[in-house]
Amino acid sequence: MRGTMTTVLNHPLVAHRVTLMRDASTPPKLFRELVNEVTEFLAYEALRDLRVRQIDVATPVAKTRGAKIDEPRIVIVPILRAGMGMLDAMLGVLPYARVGVLGMQRNEETAEPVPYYAKVPEARDGSELAIVTDPMLATGGSACDAVAQLKKLGYRRIRFLNLIAAPEGIARFEREHPDVAVFTAARDERLNERFYIVPGLGDAGDRIFGTL
């Protein structure tokens, strides 16, 4: 299911895992495994149009033509800390990728992001692909700020991958960054008065790292 620039994965394998992640009784170990699995599904969908080049290859039976990924530089950019929970899965499918990090702390009163750390390779010529990861797209503040920082560094090809998204966050992101595609596993109902996604799955960072 696709919105303006937002793709919501609509697949029983994804829905099954999202349901298990929502369950408050799911322990951290299983929760992390589910996050990894759903992230792999997101990566599969988000990277359909990676640049490739044709090469000759000899199988045990015959010579044929094959394709190899031909991207000069791919940078995975998790938003600290919860986005780190998606990093292993991303490196599993893109083991040659570089990694940058952006630190954002949420102001609990305003729900706006407070940047506190940034370590991202600068873009060289705009051909690089940056993939931002963060489990929750709630108000959209952190995601929008992260993408704005990457654009200032010269990145022109950016994608944002997340697990659960609120309509408010999707709307803000599409308004501020209409050129950046979003891939999410579930589009939920709304934000509550504390700016948590409903029904959501709670604080993803706490559940990933077992700091409840």
Residue 147 in domain: yes
pLDDT, averaged in runs of 10, over the chain (212 residues): 74 97 95 97 95 96 95 93 94 95 78 80 90 95 94 95 97 95 97 92 90 80
How close are the terminal C-alpha atoms of the chain, in Å?
33
Residue 53 in domain: yes
- What per-residue confidence (pLDDT) applies to 2? 45
Residue 197 in domain: yes
Residue 69 in domain: yes
Residue 1 in domain: no
Structural domain that includes position 127:
6-209
Number of domains observed in the structure of the chain = 1
* CATH code where residue 201 lies: 3.40.50.2020
| Residues with catalytic function | 106, 110, 203, 206
- What per-residue confidence (pLDDT) applies to 115? 74
- What per-residue confidence (pLDDT) applies to 122? 86
Cα separation, 84 vs 77, whole angstroms: 9
CB atoms within 10 A of CB 73: 15
